[in-house]
Amino acid sequence: MQDRARDAQFKTALHGKNSTSKTGFVAAISKNADAQKAAVAEYFKHWDNKRPSTETEDDKKTRLDEYATLTKHYYNLVTDFYEYGWGTSFHFSRFYKGEGFRQSIARHEHYLALKMGLTAGMKVLDVGCGVGGPAQEICRFTDCNITGLNNNDYQVERANHYANNLGLADKLNFVKGDFMQMDFEPETFDAVYAIEATVHAPVLDGVYGEIYKVLKPGGTFGVYEWVMTDKYDESIPLHREVCYGIEIGDGIPKMYKTEVAEQALKNVGFEIVHQEDLAARNDDVPWYYPLSPEFKYCRSIGDLVTIFRTSWLGRQVTMKAVGLLEKLHLAPAGSQKVTEALEEAAVNLVLGAKVRLFTPMMLFIAKKPL
């Protein structure tokens, strides 16, 4: 069970009483040293001195059993780095030639809303809402009312802060909660969506079952799911190394294959009306280009700055800068370790994409029967 008072106290200890006064890189290096040390220890205990060749079944079980704490501390550690590099929408997207980074991110969110049939006045749940970037965009695109669910107090506070600043507080509300144990009454929402968030669930049947429960009959669930593709074979060392690198750098207790997600939706009662791996469309501009040094796709100075930060070169600069600040005691201990984990994730995300082992945008649109 969650200890919400303790979580709130830890958020204040880590980020300060006003955790919305700083953002991005400055916020990342301004965390309380003792609280940062505790968060680093709690997260990396699942990964330290382990690799796919040495991890045990008990190691895997512990990550699944402690998914909530693992995910919570992951986002305590990385949220500011995400905002620094990516903005307020923590997800990938497809790109068209000549399309800017922010435009692509927004279009990816619009496409999900369109496929789900979201319209004005609908009551919608965003599962794993991050700091609220997608909810802001989808709200403005459709004029629906969105509740965001998140297990990380820091992200909830930031999401509500951004919504208020944008004048959307009457349409958006972000609340603390565990998506494996939702507090909402059954049949509360007209629609539910999740954007690259339910991958943090220990068992997909569990989170999909909770979504099914709070969705009204006839309602729609739309999800961009992170999965390993049908080509993935855990018995092949390279495959498992790629998967493990994604898990350790992205706070994931266990990655599952596409077929597992599809079956989980059916197991809890959903009828799948559309499914497609959008990463398999062979776009001229690959979805992972922000993680690679392919600056030729940048369409503006803003794009260039963003892609530099997220590219291999930019990540190296960030790691070295954080490491130096840590040595000078200007950044809390463990900060460089966090950037190294993010780097391992980025390298394996790109490799996994290039050899078609991984997709971050397996789209499912599912209906709850009347």
pLDDT at 219: 98
DSSP 3-state assignment of 147? strand
Which of the residues in the chain have pLDDT under 70? Answer: 1-2
pLDDT at 282: 87
CA-based nearest residue to 50, from 299, 245, 340: 245
pLDDT at 6: 87
CA-based nearest residue to 94, from 298, 302, 280: 280
> Contact 69/290 with Cβ under 8 angstroms?
no
Question: Is the alpha carbon torsion for 221, 227, 231, 235 positive or negative?
Answer: negative
pLDDT at 2: 57
pTM: 0.95
pLDDT at 128: 97
CA-based nearest residue to 59, from 198, 337, 234, 253: 253
pLDDT at 143: 98
pLDDT at 265: 98
Q: Sketch out the chain's domains with CATH numbers.
A: 101-239+253-283+358-368 (3.40.50.150)
pLDDT at 14: 93
DSSP 3-state assignment of 357? coil
pLDDT tens-digit map of 239-251? 999 999 999 999 9
CA-based nearest residue to 278, from 203, 365, 151, 178: 365
> Contact 333/326 with Cβ under 8 angstroms?
yes
> How does DSSP assign 252-263, residue by residue?
-S---BHHHHHH
